[in-house]
Amino acid sequence: MNIYLAGASHQATTKWIQDKGYDKLLSYANDKSLIEKWITNVKQNGDTGSKLFIDSGAFTMWTKGAEVNVDKYIQWLNERVNYIYLFGQVDSIPGDIKTGATREQVEEAAQKTWENYLYMRERVINKDGLLYTYHVGEPEKFLKQALEWTDENGEYIKYIALGGMVGKNKPVKENFLRNCFNIIKHSSNPNVKTHAFGMTSLDLLNKYPITSADSTGWLMTAMTGSIFTMYGTVCVSEQTTQNTDNFVNLPSRKQETILEQLQRIGYPYETVRHDRYAREEVNATYLSEWAKNYTYEEPKARTTTLFNIK
C-alpha cells in the first residue's frame, strides 16, 4: 500500500518527505509553489522514489464559490507529466456548502464528474495516472459504469478513487467502503486499483484491498501535540501533561516501547515534546513504514461443519 502524506506542510518538511522517499499529495489549486519546489528538487538531486500525487483542488475551490479550469489543469499536468505519478480528475461538487444538495443535484454532479473524467482522459498524456472519483452518496450506477467502461483497445480503467469520506463518521466510511468493494468484486474489473481520498484510518485500511490512501492526519495530529504509535495516538506535548492520554501518564511498559520507537527513527522524546515539526516527521515515518510493511489478506470464509451446527 502507498500512503500519500497530504497537506501543505512546511517547505523543509516537504523536502524531508521527498528526501526520505515517502509519498506526497499536493493540491493543484493551493500548492503550486510547493509542487514546483518538489519538481526542482528532482531535477537537481535526482529521483528519490517518492511518488507525487496531485489533487485538483476542486472541492476547495467549490467552498470558495469557484471552479478549477479543466483545460488549464490538463495543460499544466501535461507540462509536468514526467514528475507526477497520479492525479485526481476535476470532479463536480453538488449543491451549496451551506444548504447541502438535493438528490437530483447529487446525480447531476455525479454525471458531470464522469463526463469530466472522459474529457480529461482523452487529453492527458498519462491516461493511467488519471483517477476517476466515485463519492459517498452517489448512485451506485456511476461506480458500476466506470468499472464496466473500456477504452478503444478494450482496456478497463486501471485505477479509481473513492472520495467524499472527509468529515464522515467511521460507520459511514465503513459502509461506503464495504459497498464499493462488493460492487468491484462482482464487476468485470475486480482487480482495479483503488485510492481512498482523505482516509488513513488504519483499522479500515486493514479491512479492504485499498491500493493507496491519503490524509492530513499526520499534520493535524502533530499540531495538537500528539504522535502515532502502536498504541494509537499518544499526546506528548508538555502543555497537556494533565491529560490521561499523555505519555507521562501511560504505564511504564508503553512508555518504554514508545521511547524505543522514537530512538529507532532518531527523535529524542524531549524534542517531540517541544517541536511540532519533529512530531510531523515522526507521524510521517510511522504511516509510511506501516504502508511499506502492509499486505492485505483476504478474510477467510467461515465454514460450517457437523461439529459447529447448532
Tens of pLDDT, residues 16-72: 999 999 999 999 999 999 999 999 999 999 999 999 999 999 988 888 888 999 999
- Global confidence as pTM: 0.92
Q: Is residue 299 part of a domain?
A: no
Domain with residue 13: its CATH number is: 3.20.20.105
Both 233 and 202 in a single domain? Answer: no
Both 32 and 113 in a single domain? Answer: yes
CA atoms within 13 A on the CB side of 45: 14
Bridge partner list, 24: 5, 52
Percent of the chain exceeding pLDDT 90 equals: 79
Both 176 and 136 in a single domain? Answer: yes
Instruction: Write the burial class of residue 133 (CB in 10 Å: 0-12 exposed, 13-18 middle, 19+ buried).
Output: buried
**Residue 38 contacts residue 54 (beta carbons within 8 Å):** no
Both 188 and 255 in a single domain? Answer: no
Both 125 and 208 in a single domain? Answer: yes
Both 173 and 222 in a single domain? Answer: no
Both 93 and 207 in a single domain? Answer: yes
Longest dimension (CA), the chain: 69
For residues 206 and 125, which has the higher predicted lDDT (pLDDT)? 125
**Residue 191 contacts residue 252 (beta carbons within 8 Å):** no
Residue 269 is part of which domain span? 218-294
Task: Show Cβ contacts of residue 94 under 8 Å, excluding neighbours closer than 6 positions.
Answer: 101, 102, 105, 106, 108, 109, 110
Tell me if residue 308 falls in helix, strand or coil: coil
Last residue of a domain, one of 187, 215, 243: 215
Mean pLDDT of the chain: 92
Q: Kindly indicate the confidence band of residue 303, based on its pLDDT and cuts at 50, 70 and 90.
A: very low
Both 169 and 28 in a single domain? Answer: yes
